[in-house]
């Protein structure tokens, strides 16, 4: 998973599950600190875990080499 995609996934979890507008520091306690139920935190952690598992098992790029399809890890080093 690219850094850009990971950041987008984290932001989406923060917005949709944790109901946070942003993860940016705004230098105001009322904006930077939040009370949250443990079940909501668990849901967000599970979503992040599942996103990581999916990213680890989803090929990001398939290369065609000598007429056959290969994942980057299948290509022998020269």
Strands 63-65 and 68-70: antiparallel
**Which of 31-40, 51-60, 63-72 shows the highest mean pLDDT?**
31-40
Tell me the C-alpha distance between 38 and 46, whole Å: 12
Quick one: average pLDDT of 29-40? 96
Query: What is the model's pTM?
Result: 0.69
- Domain spans of the chain? 3-74
> At a CB cut-off of 8 Å and minimum separation 6, what does 41 contact?
18
What pLDDT is stored for residue 63 in this prediction? 54
What pLDDT is stored for residue 78 in this prediction? 45
Q: Mean pLDDT lowest for which of 24-33, 53-62, 68-77?
A: 68-77
């Amino acid at each position: 998973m690219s850094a850009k995609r990971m950041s987008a996934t984290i932001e989406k979890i923060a917005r949709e599950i944790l109901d946070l507008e942003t993860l940016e520091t705004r230098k105001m306690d009322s904006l930077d600190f939040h009370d949250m139920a443990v079940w909501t935190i668990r849901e967000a952690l599970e979503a992040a875990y599942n996103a990581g598992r999916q990213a680890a098992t989803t090929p990001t790029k398939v290369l065609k080499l000598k007429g056959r399809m290969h994942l980057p890890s299948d290509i022998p080093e020269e």
